[in-house]
Amino acid sequence: MDKKANKDSFRDTIGTVDADGKRKWVFPKKPAGRYYNWRSYLSYVLLLILFGLPWIKVGGEPVLLLNVLERRFILFGLSFTPQDFHLFAILMITGVVFIALFTVVFGRLFCGWVCPQTIFMEMVFRKIEYWVEGDANAQRKLAKSPWTKDKIRKRVMKHSLFLLVAAVIAHTFLAYIIGIDAVLETVSQSPASAPMGFLAIVVFIGVFYFVFANMREQVCIAICPYGRLQGVLLDNDSINVIYDYERGEPRTKIRKGKPKKSSCSDCANCRDGKGSCADQMLHRMEAELAKNGHGPSKTSAAPATAPLSFSDTGEVMLMDAEPLRKSDCIDCTLCVQVCPTGIDIRDGIQMECINCTACIDACDTVMDKIDRPRGLIRYDSESGVARRKRRIWTPRVIAYSVVLLALIALNIFLLGGRDGLDVIMLRTPGTLYQENTDGSINNLYTYQIINKTGSELPLRFEVADVAGAKVRFIGEPPLAVPGEIAEGAVFVDLPADPEAGFDGNLEIEVWTGEKMLETLTTTFVHPKKR
pLDDT digits (tens, 9 = 90+) for 342-360: 999 999 888 889 999 999 9
| Burial zone of 157 (CB within 10 Å; 0-12 exposed, 13-18 middle, 19+ buried) | middle
Q: What is the pLDDT of residue 299?
A: 42
Which DSSP category does 214 fall into?
I
Q: What is the pLDDT of residue 483?
A: 72
Who contacts 4 (Cβ-Cβ below 8 Å, separation ≥6)? 245, 249, 348
pLDDT of residue 504 exceeding 90: no
Look at residue 45 and give its three-state secondary structure: helix
Maximum C-alpha span of the chain: 147
- With left for phi above 0 and alpha for psi between -120 and 50, is residue 403 left, alpha or beta? alpha
| Angle at which helices 149-178 and 195-210 cross, to 10° | 130
Q: What is the pLDDT of residue 279?
A: 47
Q: Which residues of 460-488 are buried (b: 16+ CB within 10 A; e: fewer)?
A: ebebeebeebebeeeeeebebebbeebee
Helices (H), strands (E): how many in the chain? 18, 19
Contact yes or no for 108/240 (Cβ under 8 A): yes
Domain boundaries of the chain, sorted by first residue:
265-324, 421-523
Mean pLDDT is lowest, of 147-151, 335-339, 440-444, for: 440-444
Upstream peptide bond of 250 is cis (omega within 30 degrees of 0) = yes
Q: Is the dihedral of CA 509, 510, 516, 520 positive or negative?
A: negative
Contact yes or no for 359/241 (Cβ under 8 A): yes
pLDDT of residue 137 exceeding 90: yes
Q: What is the pLDDT of residue 517?
A: 86
Q: What is the pLDDT of residue 281?
A: 47
Categorize the per-residue pLDDT at 73 as very low, low, confident or very high, splitting at 50, 70 and 90: confident
How large is the average pLDDT for residues 29-44? 96
pLDDT of residue 309 exceeding 70: no
pLDDT of residue 7 exceeding 70: no
CA pair distance 362, 37, nearest whole angstrom: 13
Which helix (H) or strand (E) is 74 found in, with range? strand 72-75
For the chain, what is the mean pLDDT?
Answer: 83
Q: What is the pLDDT of residue 480?
A: 86
CATH node for 421-523: 2.60.40.10
How large is the average pLDDT for residues 233-244? 90
Q: What is the pLDDT of residue 17?
A: 82
Categorize the per-residue pLDDT at 288 as very low, low, confident or very high, splitting at 50, 70 and 90: low
pTM of the model: 0.75
How large is the average pLDDT for residues 421-437? 85
